[in-house]
Each structure stands twice: as C-alpha cells, then as structure tokens.
C-alpha cells in the first residue's frame, strides 16, 4: 500500500480502536493508560507502532493490552500484521494527533499531514518556555534560548546547548520553535534529531536526491539539530551537517544545536565544524539543585489537580532523585499512576514501596576535601588552618566539626580521617566526634552549624 494511503487508513483504524477501547476498558483506566498512546508514522510494513511516554506505562500496556490491540486493529484493517507498543523516543514522527474522542467519524484526510521527505517531528505542545522552571543551573541556557527565539536579526548563531541527559535541552529547543513561530507565523522552523538528519540524508542519497534534500532545508528560517553527538564519527553525514549549518549561518539564519557534551569534548567531529559550533553562544545546563527539584515537582503537581502528595513525600523525591529532571518527573508520574490504580493514598510508606530502588539513588559521594571546604567557608577559617597544628579554639572547634562530618558522611576509617587532618591520631578523631555529639545537645549554635553543613553537603 502506498505510504500516504496507509497513513490515512491506519489513522482511521486507530480512531475506531480507541473508541472501542474506551468503551470496554472504562474511562478511568482508559484515561490513565490508553489515552496517552500515540500512533507513529507507518513504515508500510504492516506493523502498527504505538508509543507511550514512559517505559513504565509501556510495560503495563504490553502486559494487559498487547493481544487486544492486535485483535482490534486487525478487525479494522486486515492487512495489519502486528501491533508494537514502545516507549516514545525523540526519533519517532508522531503523525496523528489523537483523534477527538467525542467524534466517532473517521479522521479526515486533512488531519493527517502529508509527509515531505524532510519532515520534523511536530513540536511538543508541552515544551514551552512558560513550562520551563528556571534556576541558577539552567538560567543561562534559558535566557539564551529566549534570545535566539526573538524576531529580527539573531544576536548570535549558533546557540549550542549542552548538558547530561534529561536536563531540559529538548524542552528548550521545542520552546524556541514555538516562540519563534508564535511571533512570526509566516516563518518556518525545522527540529531534527541528528539521527533523523542522518536518516533523511542517507535516504536522499539512495534516491539520488540530495539536491532536493538541501532545497527543502534552504527555505527554513530556524534550524534545530538535537543530540548532535550522534553524527560524531559518521563522515558523510557530518560533512552534510557542516554544509547545512554553514549555509544557514552564512545566510544570517538561526541555528540551535543540542548535544550531550561541549564542543570541546566532541570527538570524531571535523575541527572546522567544531570551530563553527563553538563560535556562537555555548550554554550548558547543570544538574538541578534542590530548589529547582522542588519547584519542578510543585509545577508538575499543579498540573494534576485532585492528586494529594504530602509535603514529606515531595521532600523525599526532591532530596533523593537528583540526577535529572526526567527521573524526577518519572518518579512522580509513577507514584501518581500506581496510586490511581490501587486507590491507595500517597504517603511515605507508599512512596517507599512504589519507588524503592529509585529512592536509593546514586548516593552522593562526599569527600573529606568537600567537607573541609564547606566547613572553612562556614566558619570563615582557612582550609589550611583545619589541617594545621593550631589549637586556638576558633580553629579547633571548626576542625572538630569537620572531623565529625567526615565520620558521618564518608566511609573513611578513623585513622584515614586523622591523616587528612594534618596527620592526627585516630584517638583525636574519636574525641572530636564525641565532643561535637555532646555539644549538639547543649550548644544551639554548634547544632545549627552542623545541620546547615549537613544539608549543604548532602545535597
Ligand atoms: P534532554 O533533552 O536534556 O535530555 P529533556 O528536554 O527531554 O532533556 O527533559 C526531560 C524532561 O524533563 C522533559 O519532560 C522536560 O519537560 C523536563 N524538564 C527538564 N528541565 C525542566 C525544567 N527546568 N522545567 C520543567 N521541566 C523540565
Ligand atoms: Mg533531548
């Protein structure tokens, strides 16, 4: 079947399958698990691909609905060989907006965009600037993203965003796209994951139509390439990427790149491309700090009214899940999904039972050096004094606090701790630990200092 016809047929079948599922599964179950499913552009191989936003949801739907989905699809469209449920990735092109459920009519042809060979996945409507929570760790990237989306001559190009995974690069790129198109509806923007760029380019080469490929990009005003690390080491695509980026910049257009590392650390990339990439604005996003983790949870919770998550559970998530915003969101979603499935209230016990291993998290490794630095800053003494022989009280007390924290927060033995504090004996460390424990019971100031330091060192 030609792809375009197949798209329309599959989309129409999908609309009917959804109606049937809603009728048989019941509204609550449908809303929670089945409604978020999205249809991926068919490849013409008779396999229907559906995606869900998380691995957790994917597992659930596979376990409970895999056969049912195949059966339902075949009933609508006998040529369907198989139905596959997957977790959504940036790569998939979601062609079919979920059909409005109130309307049982087949999806009109116009609702299914025809796919041009250079097609970008639609911008995700959830990824807008107003839903991006800003704090110190991402402020530079956020402001740069806002600036690059402003109309007029771009102030810099390219914008190169980099960070570890799950920290908001893709969100910011989509937000740039939205903002740019909102201010100038006549403008055009392309968002392409680098893998997709590669795929499109290789397909164009096979079809001997690289000319057409380039021509289609030429009319575009804003080019965004996500996950650039994927082209590292792939020479032909890289070369093409370089040409494309150069052409855009020479034409004074906007280019936004996202990557999992800075240009300086990208191996296997042509130095000419690297210098061009580093020549605009390079902004990184750092791991989310405590306040940001709290603010993000609060923002997400505000979006699901009627779900009560007590403060201590929010603190638990924000305190333990530090690696990425994606994990943090995932944990919250999992809590909410489980609770709505079991009807349980969300409390600490429920959170521990549901999130178990996620909460254990990668324990933050605090080093004695970190402790000495924090203590010296807190008490305004020199770090060197902490390891010196000086016995004046103004130095000795902070030193004892530092030893106490080293015992509590690291796995170092007493002799090891002693050595790190100017070769002191392990009995000195024991004495310091006992002394601070005692003082915490009677000396408010020391107790407050220890608490403050514990909080800042533990994250
Ligand atoms: P990356 O592309 O860096 O791997 P994403 O942009 O896909 O990360 O972000 C992962 C998830 O976290 C997305 O759902 C995104 O909306 C969310 N997210 C990341 N940073 C923020 C933020 N500062 N405010 C709100 N949501 C965020
Ligand atoms: Mg991304």
| Domains parsed from the chain with CATH numbers | 5-87 (3.30.300.180), 129-284 (3.40.50.300), 290-360 (1.10.8.60), 368-458 (1.10.1750.10)
CA-closest residue to ligand 1 atom 11: 326
Average pLDDT over residues 135-144: 96
Judged against a pLDDT cut of 60, whether residue 95 lies above it is answered with: no
Judged against a pLDDT cut of 50, whether residue 106 lies above it is answered with: no
What does the pLDDT look like over 185-244, one tens digit per residue? Answer: 888 898 988 888 888 888 888 888 888 888 888 788 999 999 998 887 777 778 888 788
301-307: Cβ within 8 A, 24+ apart: 301/332, 304/336, 307/336, 307/339, 307/340, 307/346
Judged against a pLDDT cut of 80, whether residue 297 lies above it is answered with: yes
pLDDT level of residue 9 (50, 70, 90 thresholds)? confident
Asked if 192 contacts 230 with a C-beta cutoff of 8 angstroms, the reply is no
Q: Which of 57, 167, 261, 321 to probe ligand 1 with, by most ligand atoms within 8 A of CB?
A: 167
* CA 82/CA 309 separation, integer angstroms: 39
Asked if 354 contacts 370 with a C-beta cutoff of 8 angstroms, the reply is no
Q: How far is the CA of 144 from the centre of ligand 2 (A)?
A: 17
Question: Does the annotation flag 252 for ligand binding?
Answer: no
Cα atoms in the 13 Å half-sphere on the side-chain side of 15: 21
Judged against a pLDDT cut of 90, whether residue 115 lies above it is answered with: no
Give the number of the ligand closest to the Cα of residue 171: 1
Give the number of the ligand closest to the Cα of residue 124: 1
* CA 380/CA 82 separation, integer angstroms: 67
* CA 128/CA 146 separation, integer angstroms: 11
Using alpha carbons only, what angle is made at residue 107 by residues 104 and 108, rounded to the nearest 5 degrees?
A: 125
Contacts of 276 (CB under 8 A, 6+ apart): 158, 242, 245, 246, 249
CA distances from 433 to 45, 281, 406, 436 (A): 69, 49, 9, 5
Question: Does the annotation flag 168 for ligand binding?
Answer: yes
What does the pLDDT look like over 360-385, one tens digit per residue? Answer: 754 567 899 999 999 999 999 999 99
**HEC per residue, 190-251:** EEEEHHHHHHHHHHHHHCCCHHHHHHHHHCCCEEEEECHHHHCCCHHHHHHHHHHHHHHHHC
Q: How far is the CA of 139 from the centre of ligand 2 (A)?
A: 17
Asked if 296 contacts 288 with a C-beta cutoff of 8 angstroms, the reply is yes
* CA 206/CA 38 separation, integer angstroms: 30
Is the distance from the beta carbon of residue 240 to the nearest atom of ligand 1 less than 6 Å? no
Is the distance from the beta carbon of residue 191 to the nearest atom of ligand 1 less than 6 Å? no
Question: Does the annotation flag 169 for ligand binding?
Answer: yes
Average pLDDT over residues 133-162: 94
Sign, Cα dihedral of 307, 312, 317, 318: positive
Judged against a pLDDT cut of 80, whether residue 104 lies above it is answered with: no
Question: Does the annotation flag 58 for ligand binding?
Answer: no
Mean pLDDT over each residue of the chain, to the nearest integer: 84
pLDDT level of residue 17 (50, 70, 90 thresholds)? confident
Contacts of 281 (CB under 8 A, 6+ apart): 144, 148, 156, 158, 159, 160
The model scores a pTM over 0.75: no
* CA 200/CA 413 separation, integer angstroms: 57
């Amino acid at each position: 079947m030609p792809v375009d016809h197949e798209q329309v047929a599959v989309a129409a079948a999908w609309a009917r399958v959804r109606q049937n599922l809603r009728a048989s599964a019941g509204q609550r179950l449908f809303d929670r698990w089945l409604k978020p499913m999205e249809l991926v552009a068919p490849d013409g191989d008779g396999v229907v691909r559906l995606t869900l936003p998380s691995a957790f949801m994917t597992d659930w739907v596979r376990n409970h609905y895999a056969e049912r989905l195949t059966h339902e699809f075949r009933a609508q469209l006998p040529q369907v060989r198989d139905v596959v449920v997957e977790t959504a990735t940036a790569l998939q092109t979601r062609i079919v907006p979920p059909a409005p459920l109130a309307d049982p009519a087949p999806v009109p042809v116009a609702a299914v965009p025809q796919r041009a060979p250079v097609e970008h996945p639609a911008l995700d409507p959830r990824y807008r600037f107003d839903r991006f929570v800003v704090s110190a760790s991402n402020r530079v990237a956020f402001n740069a993203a806002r600036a690059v989306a402003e109309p007029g001559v771009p102030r810099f190009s390219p914008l190169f965003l980099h960070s570890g995974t799950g920290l908001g690069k893709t969100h910011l790129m989509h937000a740039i796209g939205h903002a740019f198109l909102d201010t100038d509806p006549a403008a055009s923007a392309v968002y392409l994951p680098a893998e997709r760029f590669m795929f499109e380019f290789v397909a164009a080469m096979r079809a001997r139509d690289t000319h057409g490929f380039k021509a289609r990009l030429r009319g575009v005003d804003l080019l965004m390439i996500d996950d650039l690390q994927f082209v590292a080491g792939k020479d032909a695509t890289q070369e093409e990427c370089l040409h494309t980026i150069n052409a855009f910049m020479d034409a004074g257009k906007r280019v936004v790149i996202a990557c999992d590392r800075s240009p300086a650390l990208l191996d296997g990339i042509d130095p000419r491309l690297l210098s061009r990439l580093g020549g605009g604005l390079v902004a990184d996003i750092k791991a989310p700090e405590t306040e940001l983790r709290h603010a993000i949870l609060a923002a997400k919770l505000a979006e699901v009214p009627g779900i009560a998550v007590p403060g201590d559970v929010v603190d638990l998530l924000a305190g333990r899940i530090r690696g990425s915003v994606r994990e943090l969101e995932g944990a919250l979603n999992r809590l909410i999904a489980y609770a709505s499935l079991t009807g349980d209230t969300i409390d600490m016990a429920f959170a521990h039972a549901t999130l178990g291993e996620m909460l254990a998290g990668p324990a933050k490794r605090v080093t004695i050096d970190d402790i000495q630095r924090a203590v010296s800053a807190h008490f305004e003494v020199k770090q060197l004094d902490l390891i010196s022989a000086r016995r004046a009280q103004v130095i000795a007390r902070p030193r004892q606090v530092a030893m106490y924290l080293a015992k509590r927060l690291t796995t170092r033995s007493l002799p090891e701790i002693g050595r790190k504090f100017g070769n002191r004996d392990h009995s000195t460390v024991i004495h310091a630990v006992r002394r601070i424990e005692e003082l915490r019971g009677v000396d408010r100031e020391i107790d407050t200092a220890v608490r403050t330091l514990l909080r800042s060192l533990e994250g």
